[in-house]
Amino acid sequence: MDETTEQTQQPEQQTPQTSPTSQAPQAQPTQPTALGAFSDQLAQAVERAAKSTVTVAARPRQTATGILWSANGETVVLTADHVVEREDDITVTLPDGRSTRAQLAGRDPSTDLAVLRLPGVELGAANVPAQISQDARVGHLALAIGRPTDGGVRVSFGVISSIDGPQRSWQGAQIERILYPDVTLYPGFSGGPLVNLEGKVIGLNSSRLTRQSAALPVVTLQRVVNTLLTHGRVRRGYLGVGTQQVPLSPTLAQKAGLNQEAALLVVTVEPESPAEQAGLFVGDQIIGMGDQTVSNVETLRAALATTPAGQPLAIRILRGGETRDVSVIIGERA
């Protein structure tokens, strides 16, 4: 066959027809996972709380955090007392980025709480007083929020590991409860809020309140803030005695008609103190104050804490095996 006329027939390639049932499946919308939903809940809680979290500049090198708080018809800033190292030239940076001067309204080192006023400041919609909650229980998840710089909030996440109280701070203040969250308080976090998963404040964080990271609960914040705004300080009763718990003999207790097993032995009386002026002596045994039985130092302090300075308080003592009532004008601890 002539090579010039020979042709090789190649079959035409047909484009395969794809039936509807053989098409690649389309990607389905991703369903949110439980963990993703929980993560979004945390982010939303931080966003809510951030609107009431401010930066406080009241010490030379390190700024701290504060909380916008509504009390007595005004909006103030709560922060930790130990971060307020100067009482003048205090600056607060609001959540919207504005900086403003603040005035110290009052402070209480014993609870590590200070209150700042913001004179003449219009807050606006971006700066909102904190929403609060007193529902804090062991096992609840919580977030510690700080705004130590103007770069936005920082967050530490954990669980409330314990709640103690009523308890006394290491400086002697009676505190209704102390929250111990398993969170990290980074530099500048003191004075900031501890919030729940709704973004509501359940406490104020402090690295100085106890010997570990802790938070003042809302019930204490409300009480102390109202006192500081009214008086500028917390006025605590002062008696002026040193005491030691001692057992009462059953015979003596029965003779005196007492239903208690211990009393407080007066071991020192400070000169010119309310105790000395009322005639208390070393060797007296305190068994009651007002209508409260006194058998340990905690009950003594509790009675003093509820008696305003300058008010008389009936103290029942044992002296020479006999009961006596002594009226003391309670002083104020400096």
In sequence order, what DSSP letters do the residues of 279-302 get, joined into one string?
Answer: T--TT-EEEEETTEE--SHHHHHH
pLDDT at 84: 97
- The catalytically annotated residue of 81, 108, 112, 284 is 112
pLDDT at 172: 59
Does the annotation mark 82 as catalytic? yes
- The catalytically annotated residue of 82, 108, 156, 169 is 82
Type of residue at 29: P
Question: Based on C-alpha coordinates, what's the Rg of the chain?
Answer: 33
- The catalytically annotated residue of 190, 207, 213, 295 is 190
Cis status, amide bond into 166, omega within 30 of 0: yes
pTM of the model: 0.72
Q: What is the largest CA-CA distance in the chain?
A: 147
- Beta-carbon contacts of 253 under 8 Å, excluding residues fewer than 6 positions away, are 259, 260, 261
Does the annotation mark 190 as catalytic? yes
Q: Can you point out the beta strands (E) in 46-149?
A: 53-57, 64-71, 74-79, 90-93, 99-108, 113-117, 141-146
The half-sphere exposure of 100 on its side-chain side, counting CA atoms within 13 A, is 19
Q: Quick check: 89 and 126 in contact, CB under 8 A?
A: no
pLDDT at 334: 58
pLDDT by 10-residue block (mean), the chain, 334 residues: 46 50 59 88 96 97 96 95 94 96 94 95 93 96 94 94 81 81 96 98 94 92 92 80 90 82 93 93 92 84 75 90 90 72
Look at domain 237-332 and name its CATH class. mainly beta
Q: Quick check: 173 and 221 in contact, CB under 8 A?
A: no
pLDDT at 1: 44
